[in-house]
Chains A and B, each alone.
Chain A
Amino acid sequence: KQEVTQIPAALSVPEGENLVLNCSFTDSAIYNLQWFRQDPGKGLTSLLLIQSSQREQTSGRLNASLDKSSGRSTLYIAASQPGDSATYLCAVLGSGDKLTFGTGTRLAVRP
């Protein structure tokens, strides 16, 4: 059974800092890995999707990397802003179209 863990569970940083969120998964047989953002009481916003054959994806201030063999991914956020405050979820797509979500990292960026 796939298990996805995210570290840290919560993070509070001052505005402008660069930060790294971590995601690890136990079964490396995945099709892709996706990072989402979730604001309180809201649905999911897809940020980046990395196919299993890829090493990284970039979008603006966000960069996600994937090391499938070691079961790890990182989300790098450059020059953080208060508007980045949200919960960040990673999810891996495995066999049977199953998307397994991580436990999430709650990020607070202080002005």
Chain B
Amino acid sequence: GAVVSQHPSRVICKSGTSVKIECRSLDFQATTMFWYRQFPKQSLMLMATSNEGSKATYEQGVEKDKFLINHASLTLSTLTVTSAHPEDSSFYICSAKTSGGAETQYFGPGTRLLVL
């Protein structure tokens, strides 16, 4: 159990276009989902936390108008990178957990974004 999927696994796009990444909890309801970014040979950095039905909370330095997060249901959160630029190229990983408190986060397999 506790499987999280991401789609697509890999995407290449032109500079200036928008890209949507989906994160789904397949066998549980995720009240909270997290989005992380990982640059090459670096660790994961939390971008934002989203709770179902409410606005996402962004970490300092993350532009909320550039990285749009929607958590419309208990099994789906989406991250849209708007007007992507080459510096947005990165590995994006989501995680999900079931309820409040110190519950385990379950991680998706990640999405590799390359902006040309």
Contacts and interface: CB of A to CB of B under 8 A. Distances in A.
Interface in B16-43: 32, 34, 36, 42-43
Contact of B43 (A31, A42, A98, A103): A103
26 contacts: A31-B102, A32-B102, A41-B91, A41-B112, A42-B109, A42-B110, A43-B6, A43-B107, A43-B108, A43-B110, A46-B104, A46-B107, A49-B104, A89-B43, A93-B102, A97-B32, A97-B49, A97-B97, A97-B102, A98-B49, A99-B34, A99-B46, A101-B36, A101-B43, A102-B43, A103-B43
A103 to B, nearest CB: 5
Interface of B: 6, 32, 34, 36, 42-46, 49, 91, 93, 95, 97, 100, 102, 104-105, 107-110, 112
Interface of A: 31-32, 34, 36, 41-44, 46, 49, 89, 91, 93, 96-104
A75 to B, nearest CB: 15
A46 to B, nearest CB: 8
Contact of B93 (A31, A43, A100, A104): A43
Nearest to A103: B43
A98 B108 contact: no
A34 B105 CA distance: 10
